[in-house]
């Protein structure tokens, strides 16, 4: 039950590593930084986005999802992840849940608000934490009727 | 002034414990996970939501607030907590402030956006951090006119 | 490559210090707490907000920006910072990027939604972390057409 100083520091570092992963998901996706985005997934990871997008397996499937499905679906988007809650299963495995708020413009030119919950499994291999499973449950994916999102001129 | 290694690690762990509490408030409320939600409050905690909802004392009052007042008021909601700022009073007491963004549908079927600031007092008893006081200051609780929140089909 | 226990704890503390800075930016700005807001900036800091607001240098410039330009532009606002990603350059210098979601009412009475990305440089001097550079890239600064933001009565 009681952890050594080394184990306690390791767990704190692991918590920040997981925060970085969920942040890099947002930053990588929204800034279309493919390397940052892909770097969060283990090669055998599964990304369950569900309808109408589908589920995607491995780096190949995830690359297809982001390059061929999701980036074309959005002109611009910003994802905001909060409420990350981590439960360690052992030193190298952890379950996570967090919420995302997203606002942006889809390819049809409509402003959208999205709310979703991500259920994650994080795994550490050779000292590096990455996501091995992410399930997306969307609460809403809706038009902000009448709103046009644009930067100031 | 200077802290021991043990005290420094303890404070870092305490910071994550408080992040977990403010996350569990959101996750517990939004997913209607009563145990998760109640587990963040000390039995003698006060939850000052203010008008038009009121103030609620102790586990009994907080149970009433969430089961009889707030859950019935929302069909679905997602709360996003950010900006948590903690000031330690001593090793077992801390003041906090954070902001919450909330989007959801109230029981009248209208889409709503809520912005609020939580002012918290955290207390550690027998090694466990929980909330002993949360004050809610609402900046807005407003209709997203014309918007219908729904997941993709 | 491998860090000492002291260095590892120091880096964890530094990460929380930077989280506090980006939180204090929001809390200081939104609650019009001038001391909290100014305390995040080194005296020689630069705040590049860009058009239509401009760029601001040093405590004098930043004071002008917040007191004469930005606070008058908003009746009320709440900024929510998430996705903070920190890269240490050395023990006392770090680059950061984070996203902000903002909702509020501008001085013309219109409800607004803002999405932006902050690119930061953090620097530690005499043991204290502050921001020496913040660049703002706005993705949108748009009217929430038809929405009136107000607290419940």
**Percent of chain B, pLDDT > 90?**
95
Determine the pLDDT at residue C1.
59
What H or E segment, with its residue span, contains residue B57?
Answer: strand B54-57
The rounded Cα C98 to chain-centroid distance in angstroms is 9
Residue-wise pLDDT for A118-150, tens only, equals: 999 999 999 999 999 999 999 999 999 999 999
CA B140, CA C149: separation in Å to the nearest integer?
5
Residue B52 CB neighbour total at 10 angstroms: 12
What is the rounded CA–CA span in Å between residue C2 and residue B137?
A: 46
Q: Give Cα separations from B61 to B19, B57, B58, B85, C59 (angstroms).
A: 24, 5, 5, 27, 47
Contacts of C108 (CB under 8 A, 6+ apart): none
Confidence of residue A51 (pLDDT cuts 50, 70, 90): confident
Of B16, B80, B103, Cβ closest to residue A113: B103
C-chain residue closest to B4, CA distance: C6
Sign of CA dihedral C42, C44, C47, C48: negative
Closest C-alpha among B71, B84, A85 to residue C23: B84
* Spatial distance between the Cα atoms of B19 and B25, rounded to a whole number of angstroms: 10
The pLDDT of residue A28 is above 70: yes
In this predicted structure, which of A61-70, B120-129, C1-10 has the lowest mean pLDDT? C1-10
- Answer whether residue B52 shows pLDDT above 90: no
Write the CB contacts of B4 (distance below 8 Å, at least 6 apart in sequence): none
Digit-coded pLDDT (tens) for A78-98 = 999 999 999 999 999 999 999
Residue B94: pLDDT band (50, 70, 90) is very high
Model confidence band, residue B1 (pLDDT cutoffs 50, 70, 90)? low
What pLDDT is attached to residue B110?
98
**d(Cα B147, Cα B143) in Å, to the nearest integer?**
9
Position C115 confidence tier, pLDDT thresholds 50, 70, 90: very high
High-pLDDT (> 90) share of chain C, %: 95
Q: How confident is the model at residue A66 (pLDDT cuts 50, 70, 90)?
A: very high
Q: In CATH, what is the architecture of B5-143?
A: Roll (3.10)
**Best residue in A147, A150, A153 to probe C by mutation, most C CBs within 10 Å?**
A147
Give C141's contacts in chain A (Cβ within 8 Å).
150-152
Whole-number pLDDT of residue C103: 98
In this predicted structure, what is the pLDDT of residue A1? Answer: 59
Mean pLDDT along residues B21-43: 98
Q: Which of C13, C26, C148 sits opposite B12 (nearest CB)?
A: C13
Task: Annotate A50-69 with b (16+ C-beta within 10 A) or e (fewer).
Answer: eeebeebeeeebbeebbeee
Active-site residue, B79 included: yes
pLDDT at B2 over 90: no
Q: How confident is the model at residue B153 (pLDDT cuts 50, 70, 90)?
A: confident
Provide the pLDDT confidence category of residue A2 given band limits of 50, 70 and 90: confident
Residue C52's pLDDT is 86
Task: Please state the ipTM of this predicted complex.
Answer: 0.96
Interface of B with A (CB under 8 A): 5-6, 9, 12-13, 16, 20, 23-24, 26-27, 30-31, 76, 78-82, 101, 103-104, 111, 144, 146-153
Chain A residue numbers touching B26 (CB-CB < 8 A): 82-83, 99
How far is B90 from B98, CA to CA, in rounded Å? Answer: 20
Predicted confidence (pLDDT) at residue B40 exceeds the cutoff of 90: yes
Return the active site residues of A.
30, 79
pLDDT (mean) for A40-67: 96
Which chain C residues are Cβ-neighbours of A147 within 8 angstroms? Answer: 113, 142-145
Q: Is the pLDDT of residue C153 over 80?
A: no
- Give the residue extent of every domain in chain A: 5-143
* pLDDT tens string C34-58: 999 999 999 999 999 998 889 999 9
Chains that touch B (3 or more CB pairs under 8 A): A, C
Q: In angstroms, what separates the C-alpha of B39 from chain C's closest C-alpha? A: 25
Tell me how crowded residue B43 is: count the other CB atoms within 10 A of its CB: 11
Global confidence as pTM: 0.97
Q: Which of B84, B139, B144 is nearest residue C151 as measured by Cβ atoms? A: B139
Pairwise CB contact (< 8 Å): C151 & B144: no
- List the catalytic residue out of B30, B57, B92, B99: B30
| pLDDT band of A153, cuts 50, 70, 90 | confident
pLDDT the model gives residue A52: 86
Interchain pair C51, A152: CB under 8 A:
yes
Mean pLDDT (chain C, rounded): 97
| Chain A residues with CB within 8 Å of chain C CB | 5-6, 9, 12-13, 16, 20, 23-24, 26-27, 30-31, 76, 78-82, 101, 103-104, 111, 144, 146-153
């Amino acid at each position: 039950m009681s952890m050594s100083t080394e184990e306690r520091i390791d767990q704190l570092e692991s918590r920040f590593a997981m925060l970085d992963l969920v942040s890099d998901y947002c930053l990588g996706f929204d800034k279309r930084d493919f390397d940052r985005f892909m770097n969060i997934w283990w090669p055998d990871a599964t990304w369950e986005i569900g309808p109408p997008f589908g589920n995607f397996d491995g780096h190949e499937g995830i690359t297809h999802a982001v390059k061929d499905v999701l980036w074309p679906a959005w002109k611009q988007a910003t994802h905001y992840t909060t409420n990350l809650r981590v439960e360690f299963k052992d030193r190298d495995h952890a379950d996570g849940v967090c919420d995302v708020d997203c606002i942006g413009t889809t390819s049809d030119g409509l402003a959208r608000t999205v709310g979703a919950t991500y259920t994650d499994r994080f795994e550490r291999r050779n000292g590096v934490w990455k996501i091995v499973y992410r399930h997306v449950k969307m609460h809403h994916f809706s038009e902000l009727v009448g709103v046009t999102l644009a930067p100031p001129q």
